[in-house]
């Protein structure tokens, strides 16, 4: 493949500046805190994504490479055993230094060294550098999504309820009637088979048998979820997996994350501040356990990841109209019909290697494969996913109890019960 | 189906007395303790399996039913929310009362009431009673296996190393050369489709696509596993899933459960006491994480549960020659070639509902379905599984870190890599 | 000091058989369990007190000493770093072996070797052996009290509410009117200064300044304590030390240990089974935090240990009429007026070394001194303390949150407020 | 007492601006983090001390009082049950808002309202307002010390080792030879009996009996402590209290907090950055357990608080030459001989009420009394204590395992052993 240095540089610079732009609404103090282990300080995201380029690319390809600051290699390695010792993940929020200013200087310096490398490296090195930059850029896009969800968590857990962005006014559109759509099965191919970038976990394309099934043309809404709550959904063990029911008891779950009772009504914390529940909006910030319980209560089930992928190919998976990060709504919108965007949907599939899976070579083998246990696949992207980062074969994954991502429900069902 | 009262009674009585016979080698004190949450006191198994018959059958069908002791309903319910409050699972080992003598009296009384019911119930009730007794009997067989593994844990964690049974002398047989056997795939049917008893989680029979694959004709042996240990298998993160590696660090795993270093050699605790490692025996008491790491180290992988089931149908799955509970070896034997018995093998499949899965009706819906998260499927039965309890479609399941069952490895591989 | 071998043997044998007699009402199963870390299995007490004689005396003085069972040295060492590694304290209840029968055989064997040593040792060794036996005998008496309180805990936490002994019928006696008695202070001597046995922590006798004070001639009763409860004592933070209030919240304390609400009334678990609260009986099984909160609520305070000792010398501290272990009531009695017996009273004094304190020589230095942090002194003995074990200078000590001992309240007050 | 409004205002304003001046070397990010529960974010100290004035004084005395921000009452209450619900202490470091700028604005506004109140309140209210301001000012001085120790902890736990202040160059002085000085005992009076401010816990003055004793004329130095380390002090259980030994094992203590091995030498983190150990400096940042173990190893003991107070009255307790906060060394200095300053010394006394202790009236009753359990008294002040805040009767108190304060050792001994 012929690599265009100018395009590569453009892509690199765009992604790098978008990350910083996402932090514009923050005060210095907001960059520092880590309310729970899952949520990293925004400052850490800024530094870690930079460390990635320095460690994975500059250290190998830059002539006369010298580390920007050797301590940063310890502080900003996330989970790569191959890259040596790391600062403890639970302790990211106790580091006041480096300051935000210092982190931004780190970004600037690495950006310059990277763009210099792009322009001056040998033609021989270029393909490998290009490949690694593409991974680094996609890695940074994942952290863009995490930045949004982590900022939301930081703000939502502050009694002063800070506001990140102003509300996007939705256009009323004529929405199709909600319905279960029949999809024909058989031996289907799923997985990535193209020439652009995709993660190792999306490959290889392979055959699966999928029976005919039904899938909803719309996401479960807050209004529908409210019926589940009002019907005692959180109080009846029969809807729940055993681990889910334990979690409901331990955590005292009574509604999605960020919902709070206001007298007889519910309100929710959003990145635009506290708002009443909007019945037509897709429900979000629920765990797999809640998604699964809702589906059982509704007499339906969650789709497998293969079913989701097959259905998305058949139905509306328009990328341009989808509500993704670029929309800048930072919130699921009611008037969207694409299988992509709004909220990631929990599938019923455990995160496992595809048949024939081969991890990325070298240290980046640690990127995906080692996490293939105890997690559930989510599909479709969310309002916090960059538009040019998502695709129909994309496999996101989280533990079944996690709720701080924009995660929701699309129901499926068997044809004959 | 015509039910034969005499046969039903015979089956009931056989299983009930086998459970007690398994406890014959115990001292009273051995019945009481619970060294970890997973392991229940033998006394508890004796009582819980009895409670099952009283609660599920007698309470519904016995004329003028009176509880044997109402407190027992609280003490011996395991996890059935439908059956009301329970004594906390972690606290089973702090109950000195009821005594073993009292528990045996409870068993005797319920046995008499059950056999009386079998003989005197109306022809109309008989089919449902028969169905529930079959479930109760299969339930008790599962606890027979747990009794053996729990007693092993209790003994192995006592510095006095008590002995349960004497060693079975193995016959030398001509074993086939270990080899990877090629199995042809396609759209295959897996799951239970017969007329005898099977658990709800084995149904319905359904189609899956399985590519051609290789599977080993033998279990991984202690000798092979020792090579993994000696090659630094427990010290190299690259073999391990991330959760598995965390577990290795936290628990300080260096070998299978029950292995201990004796100078430069290894010995293991067995139900016949401490013994040197026998290289030809199947390795046992390893977690999914260890099975998976071994397979990666060996350049192979674990089979999916579909692959295992397909292969077992094709290869030797002889029941009569298999090393099961009835062999009374209480230990994996080197000279066995059946896919059944010796040790449960970890598959790579998460425990999920089969397409079209319908849970058992009523309170017994809690038996299997609610545990379908966070667990891994094991196949084939072990030296602690009753012979008439196992079949090729049987799905056992445990969390990936569990080691106290007789669990081991059968390797698989892709045809073309 | 001239030591009489026959008397020494008699004392040894008496104490040893009393310990076993205290276990007479137990079933085998009762000997095994450990519901919380504080409570040891009765079997462990039987073995540990025997280990003490073997380890401290036989190992040093027996000709051709051989350990009874080397593993027992590991299993039955409590907390003596000097005596090497120990089985983990929290895990005493997971050991089914040695069995009760084996432990009793261990006792019998060590008893024989000990009595043989008493009769055959040289005159030269006799004083030191006598000194150590006296310590061993007093040590065993402490475990007699613990046996009683641990059995009570084991039974009280069993939903079947087993009974240990039958109720002792109290004689009605003419009790003195409850009153605060004035005691004159000054520079007083406290601590042990006699020629009989006393623990190192009771010495040396030393001077303390004690101001004039008031002390109650009676223990706080259940009836009085009930007023505290009904006045919202457990719900008003103002009565409580900060650590105590945290404990109330965490543990959900609403009454003394073993009390339970029965509709509008309270009942309590005793060694004679469940009983209604008896208003005239001394309240027992309360923590220091509760004793302190009650005193503050009552407008008074707890005595210092010096005040208690001075007062006990001045007022009724009759040993013969006191309710001690020998009474066999196993429960505080209403009609007792001695400062000794019934319940240990919490003082306001932290457990510290007396000025000039010198720990016991050798390994037994670990007996008392190393525990002088984080504990509170209790005085006076209880209905579970052997009569010839208690004295006015005796210092018992427990952490301020402990409740499973027979611990109660005697109020004090300043003369001028 | 005649109260001078101008002086009161001056005192208030001085203390308030000193607090802010102590934060001058900080970056915004440093104000936010809370590495352990004990350590509060500097921002929190700034806000909490301000809340104290608003809540305790303005709310009661200001005409037409309106809360500055009602949420602040929830966020900045520390532990006062009387003042209602509080933000959880362990979660102070997850609050990015209010920002530092907002907190400083809060300070400014309350300062103005306070100075306005001082100048305009009625003569009748003035005495009570003056009394409460004096408490508030002393309260803020305690937080000045905490600010210094908390900043030290925050910096010392950051791998980038930030620097707070530059090193103070010590003057060489002729120091007296280290020696144990004999102090005569008897019935002595201790406690506060003057007319200036003192905390409730220092009163009333009362009599105690103190035997003749020895006390060192100097603090234990780093050099002496190093001998303890090199003699295996942290590896020999015989020096340690049982709770202390447990702590050594659990935490892996091998030296004082902030010491780290650098090859064969030790260095320590100070507020001026990393430095080699200076043998002549007083050892600091040790727990009570370490102080007690060192004393036992040295064949001596810690003084009681009465002994310390008596000795300080007899020996050099010069305030002006002492190394206190005003010195701005922020570190113990070798050339200081006063009993005051440098490091707080651990006494052997548990923190208990003095005989006749009466807590402060009203909500401030919670200030001291409720903490009188589980803590040890420290005396003398440190290099982080404001000069006009310390006195000979001052009782500081911490749990015996705490190490982040400037805490050290002054040895005592019995006259006749």
In the prediction, which pLDDT does D231 show? Answer: 98
The verdict on a CB contact (< 8 Å) between D245 and C370 is yes
**Cα(D112)–Cα(D109) distance, integer angstroms:** 5
Residue to substitute from C23, C26, C28, C29, interface B, most B β-carbons within 10 A: C29
Cβ contact, residue pair B187, A208, below 8 Å: no
Nearest CA in chain C to B95: C158
Note the pLDDT of residue D106: 98
Question: Can you give the length of chain C in residues?
Answer: 417
Question: Residue C133 and residue C119: Cα distance in Å, rounded?
Answer: 13
Query: Cα(D369)–Cα(C240) distance, rounded to whole angstroms?
Result: 10
Q: What is the pLDDT of residue A164?
A: 98
A160 touches chain D (CB under 8 A): yes
The answer to whether the CB atoms of D96 and A157 lie below 8 A apart is: no
Instruction: Work out the minimum CA distance from D369 to partner chain C, whole angstroms.
Output: 8
Q: Which residues 377-416 of chain D have a CB within 8 Å of chain A?
A: none
Among A157, A143, A159, A162, residue whose Cα is nearest residue A271? A162
Residue in chain A closest to D100 (alpha carbons) equals A29
Q: How far apart are CA C152 and CA C140, in angstroms?
A: 18
Q: Chain B residues with CB inside 8 Å of C99's CB?
A: 27-29
Q: Which residues of C touch B93 (CB under 8 A)?
A: 33, 93-94
Identify which of D91, D97, D157 has the shortest CB distance to residue A29. Answer: D97
For the record, the structure tokens of A80 come out as 């790569």
Tokens 């709070």 identify what position? A260
**pLDDT tens for each residue of D149-208:** 999 999 999 999 999 999 877 776 677 788 999 999 999 999 999 999 999 999 999 999
Residues of C in contact with B30 (CB under 8 A): 96-97
Residue in C237, C243, C371 closest to D373 by CB: C243
* A84: region left, alpha or beta (phi > 0 left; psi from -120 to 50 alpha): left
| CB spacing of B373 vs A207 below 8 angstroms | no
The three-state secondary structure class of C383 is coil
Q: Return phi, psi of residue A109, to 5°.
A: -65, -45
Judge whether D282 and D334 are in contact, CB under 8 Å: yes
Q: Which of B31, B34, B96 to mutate to test the interface with C (most CBs of C within 10 A)?
A: B96
Please give the Cα distance from C345 to C350 (Å, whole number): 13
> Neighbours of C (≥3 Cβ pairs closer than 8 A)?
B, D
Handedness of CA C170, C174, C177, C181 (dihedral sign): negative
Which alpha helices (H) appear in A100-198, and where do they start and end? 100-120, 126-156
Residue A17 phi/psi, 5-degree rounding, is -80, -30
Provide the strand spans (E) within D178-281.
180-183, 186-190, 206-210, 213-216, 259-262, 265-270, 273-276
What are the tokens at C333? Answer: 């009695």
Contacts of A37 in chain B (CB under 8 A): none
D289 interaction partners in chain C (CB closer than 8 Å): 373
Q: What is the pTM of this model?
A: 0.96
Q: What does the alpha-carbon distance between residue A305 and residue A351 come to, in Å, rounded to a whole number?
A: 10
Please indicate whether chains D and A are in contact, defined as at least 3 beta carbon pairs under 8 Å: yes
Minimum distance, in Å, between the CA of residue B239 and any CA atom of chain A:
9
The alpha-carbon radius of gyration of chain A (Å, integer) is: 22
Provide the pairing of β-strand D259-262 with D265-270. antiparallel
| CA–CA min distance A223, chain D (Å) | 31
Cα of D29 to nearest chain A Cα, Å = 5
**CA–CA separation, B227 and D253 (whole Å):** 38
For B29, the closest chain C residue by CA position comes to C96
| pLDDT score at C117 | 98
Strands C344-350, C407-408: pairing kind? parallel
Q: Which chains touch B (3 or more CB pairs under 8 A)?
A: A, C
pLDDT at A198: 97
Q: Which residues of D touch A71 (CB under 8 A)?
A: 159-160
Q: Which two tokens stand for residue D316?
A: 């050099």
Distance from CA of B208 to the nearest CA of A (A): 5
Determine contact, residues B239/A366, Cβ cutoff 8 Å: no
Q: Are B389 and B344 in contact (CB under 8 A)?
A: no
The answer to whether the Cβ–Cβ distance between B28 and C28 falls below 8 Å is: yes
Candidates C93, C97, C274, partner chain B, best to mutate (most B CBs within 10 A): C97
Task: Classify residue C174 by burial, with Cβ atoms within 10 Å: 0-12, 13-18, 19+.
Answer: exposed
- Write down the residue that tokens 């019928």 correspond to: C169
Indicate if the alpha-carbon torsion angle A321, A325, A328, A329 is positive or negative: positive
pLDDT at B225: 98
Q: Is A240 on the interface with B (CB under 8 A)?
A: yes
At residue C169, the pLDDT reads: 76
- The number of helix segments (H) and strand segments (E) in chain A equals 10, 12
**Interchain contact A33–D (C-beta under 8 A):** yes
Q: Is C97:C40 a contact under the CB 8 Å cutoff?
A: no
Mean pLDDT across A363-378: 95
Which string of DSSP letters, residue by residue, matches B19-53? HHHHTTT--GGGGT--SSTTSPPHHHHHHHHHHHH
User: Is residue A274 helix, strand or coil?
Assistant: strand
Separation in Å, CA of A363 to nearest CA in chain B: 10
The reply to whether B160 touches chain C by the CB within 8 Å rule is: yes
Q: Which of B387, B386, B397, B383 is nearest to B318 (CA)?
A: B387
Collect the ranges in chain D with pLDDT lower than 70.
1-2, 172-173, 417
Q: What is the pLDDT along chain B (417 residues), one digit of tens a residue?
A: 567 999 999 999 999 999 999 999 999 999 999 999 999 999 999 999 999 999 999 999 999 999 999 999 999 999 999 999 999 999 999 999 999 999 999 999 999 999 999 999 999 999 999 999 999 999 999 999 999 999 999 999 999 999 999 987 777 667 778 899 999 999 999 999 999 999 999 999 999 999 999 999 999 999 999 999 999 999 999 999 999 999 999 999 999 999 999 888 999 999 999 999 999 999 999 999 999 999 999 999 999 999 999 999 999 999 999 999 999 999 999 999 999 999 999 999 999 999 999 999 889 999 999 999 999 999 999 999 999 999 999 999 999 999 999 999 999 999 876
Q: What is the pLDDT of residue A323?
A: 97
pLDDT at position B1 is 55
User: Which chain B residue's Cα is nearest to A303?
Assistant: B355
Contacts of B318 (CB under 8 A, 6+ apart): B338, B340
The DSSP H or E segment spanning D68 is none
**Cα B350 to Cα D138: distance, rounded to the nearest angstrom:** 62
Is pLDDT above 60 for C416? yes
C-alpha distance from residue B248 to each of A403, B235, B245 (Å)? 28, 9, 5
Are C316 and C338 in contact by the 8 Å Cβ rule? The answer is yes
Contacting C residues, span 94-123, partner chain B, CB-CB under 8 Å: 94-100
Chains B and A touch (3+ CB pairs under 8 A): yes
Identify the closest residue of chain D to C366 by CA–CA distance: D238
Predicted confidence band of residue C173 (pLDDT cuts 50, 70, 90): low
Cβ of residue B75 closer than 8 Å to a chain C Cβ: yes
Using CA atoms, how far apart are residues B118 and C352, in angstroms rounded to an integer?
70
At residue A316, does pLDDT exceed 90?
yes
The whole-angstrom distance between A106's CA and the closest CA on chain D is 15
Cβ–Cβ contact B66 with A under 8 A: no
- pLDDT of C177 reads 86
A-B contacts at Cβ under 8 angstroms: 77
User: How many residues are present in chain A?
Assistant: 417
What does the pLDDT read at residue A417? 64
Given a cut of 80, whether residue A135 has pLDDT beyond it is yes
Length of chain D: 417
Q: If DSSP states are collapsed to H, E and C, what string results for B190-212?
A: ECCCCCCCCCHHHCCCEEEEECC
CB contact under 8 A, D350 and C350: yes
Report the distance separating Cα D29 and Cα B210, nearest Å: 56
Collect all residues of chain A within an 8 Å Cβ-Cβ radius of residue D162: 96-97
Whole-angstrom distance, CA of residue A158 vs CA of residue A148: 16
Residues 6+ apart with CB under 8 A from A383: A323, A324, A325, A327, A329, A330, A331, A332, A333, A341, A342, A343, A406
Q: How far apart are CA B360 and CA B370, in angstroms?
A: 11
pLDDT band with cut points at 50, 70 and 90 for residue A188: very high
| Cross-chain residue pair A242–B348, CB shorter than 8 Å | no
Does residue C170 register a pLDDT over 80? no
Tokens 């905390």 found at: D199
Task: Supply the pLDDT for residue A173.
Answer: 66
DSSP-based three-state secondary structure for A176: coil
Rounded Cα–Cα distance for residues C241 and C378 (Å):
18
pLDDT, position A275: 95
CB C216 within 8 A of CB C251: no
Separation in Å, CA of B258 to nearest CA in chain A: 25
Please give the helix or strand (H or E) that residue B396 lies within, else none. Answer: strand B396-398
Q: Which token pair is D31?
A: 């104000």
ipTM above 0.85, yes or no: yes
- Whether B223 contacts B392, CB under 8 Å: no
Beta strands in D229-343 (DSSP E): 259-262, 265-270, 273-276
Instruction: Tell me, yes or no, if A25 comes closer than 8 A to chain D by beta carbon.
Output: no
Whether D269 and chain A come into contact, CB under 8 Å, resolves to no
Q: Which of residues 337-356 of A touch B (CB under 8 A)?
A: 348-350, 352-353, 355-356
Number of neighbours of residue B157 by Cβ within 10 angstroms: 18
User: Does D54 reach chain A within 8 Å, measured CB to CB?
Assistant: no
Strands A344-350 and A259-262: unpaired
CA atoms within 13 A on the CB side of C403: 21
């Amino acid at each position: 493949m012929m690599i265009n240095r100018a395009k590569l540089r453009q892509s690199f610079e765009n992604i790098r500046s978008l990350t910083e732009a996402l932090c514009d609404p923050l005060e210095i103090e907001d960059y520092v805190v880590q309310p729970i282990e899952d949520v990293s300080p925004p400052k850490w995201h800024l530094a870690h994504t930079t460390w990635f380029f320095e460690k994975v690319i500059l250290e190998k390809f830059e002539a006369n490479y010298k580390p920007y600051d050797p301590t940063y290699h310890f502080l900003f390695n996330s989970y790569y055993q191959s890259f040596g010792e790391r600062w403890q993940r639970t302790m990211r929020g106790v580091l006041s230094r480096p300051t935000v200013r210092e982190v931004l200087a780190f970004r600037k310096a690495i950006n310059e060294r990277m763009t210099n490398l792009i322009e001056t490296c040998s033609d021989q090195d270029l393909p490998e550098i290009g490949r690694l930059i593409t991974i680094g850029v996609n890695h940074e896009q994942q952290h863009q999504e995490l930045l949004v969800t982590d900022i939301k968590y930081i703000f939502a857990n502050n009694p002063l309820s800070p506001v990140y962005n102003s509300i996007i006014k939705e256009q009323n559109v004529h929405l199709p009637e909600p319905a279960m759509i029949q999809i024909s099965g058989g031996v289907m191919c799923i997985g990535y088979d193209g020439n652009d970038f995709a993660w190792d976990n999306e490959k290889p394309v392979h055959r699966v048998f999928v029976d005919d099934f039904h899938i909803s043309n719309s996401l479960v809404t807050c209004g529908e979820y409210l019926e589940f709550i009002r019907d005692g959904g959180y109080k009846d063990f029969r809807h729940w997996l055993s681990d889910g029911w334990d979690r409901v008891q331990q955590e005292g779950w009574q509604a999605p994350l960020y919902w709070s009772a206001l007298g007889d009504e519910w309100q929710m914390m959003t990145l635009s501040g506290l708002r009443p529940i909007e019945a037509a909006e897709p429900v979000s910030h629920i765990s797999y356990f809640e998604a699964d319980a809702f589906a059982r209560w509704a007499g339906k089930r969650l789709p497998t990841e293969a079913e989701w992928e097959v259905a998305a190919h058949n139905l509306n998976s328009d990328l341009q109209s989808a509500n993704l990060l670029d929309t800048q709504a930072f919130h699921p919108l009611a008037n969207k019909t694409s299988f992509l965007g709004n909220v990631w949907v929990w599938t019923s599939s455990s995160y496992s290697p595809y048949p024939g899976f081969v991890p990325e070579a070298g240290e980046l083998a640690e990127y995906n494969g080692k996490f293939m246990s105890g997690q559930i696949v989510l599909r479709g992207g969310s309002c916090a996913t960059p538009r040019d980062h998502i695709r129909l074969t994309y496999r996101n994954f989280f533990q079944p109890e996690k709720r701080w991502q924009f995660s929701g429900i699309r129901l499926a069902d068997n044809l004959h019960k």
